[in-house]
Amino acid sequence: MGKKREIDDRFKKFGTVSFTSTTKVNDFIDHLEQGKVMGTRCRDCGLVFFPPRCDCHQCLSDNVEWFEVSGRGKLVTYSQLQFAPVGFEDDLPYCIAVLDYGDFKVFGRIDREIPTADIEMGMEMKTAVNKLPDGQMNYVFTI
Ligand SMILES: [Zn+2]
């Protein structure tokens, strides 16, 4: 019973809806180029999403708006990687971490300029746009 419903839901996400989703999520890159890390918020029930989503799984609304991930979040967990996925080997060692902003959490990397000895659980960090030498962009957690 549950299985059939799951399949129906997946088909609903195919086509027009997923196209809209892709378009909206692409805006995330435009925002990064403007120096802003953005998430989305449901205008109907207030639920907040990061990474950004264009449809709300709580109230099923697609009425969402962008907001900037600003201020500081609390470091709730981090881990220094000694092994990395293919393509990221040259970055080692680096720390992946989660910042808790209260309404939402952000998963990402800690700026490699920050010495590991300075990283403490519970410390407040901000999420900042990071431009890579090859022109690619991401975001990192800084002090
Ligand atoms: Zn909602």
pLDDT tens profile 48-63: 999 898 899 999 999 9
Q: For position 20, what pLDDT does the model report?
A: 46
Q: How far is the CA of 112 from the centre of ligand 1 (A)?
A: 36
Between the CA of 69 and the centroid of ligand 1 the distance, in Å, is 19
pLDDT at residue 18, rounded to an integer? 43
Higher per-residue pLDDT: 41 or 137: 41
* Predicted TM-score (pTM) of this structure: 0.78
* CA-based radius of gyration for the chain: 17
pLDDT of 3 strictly over 60: no
Contacts of 77 (CB under 8 A, 6+ apart): 97, 98, 121
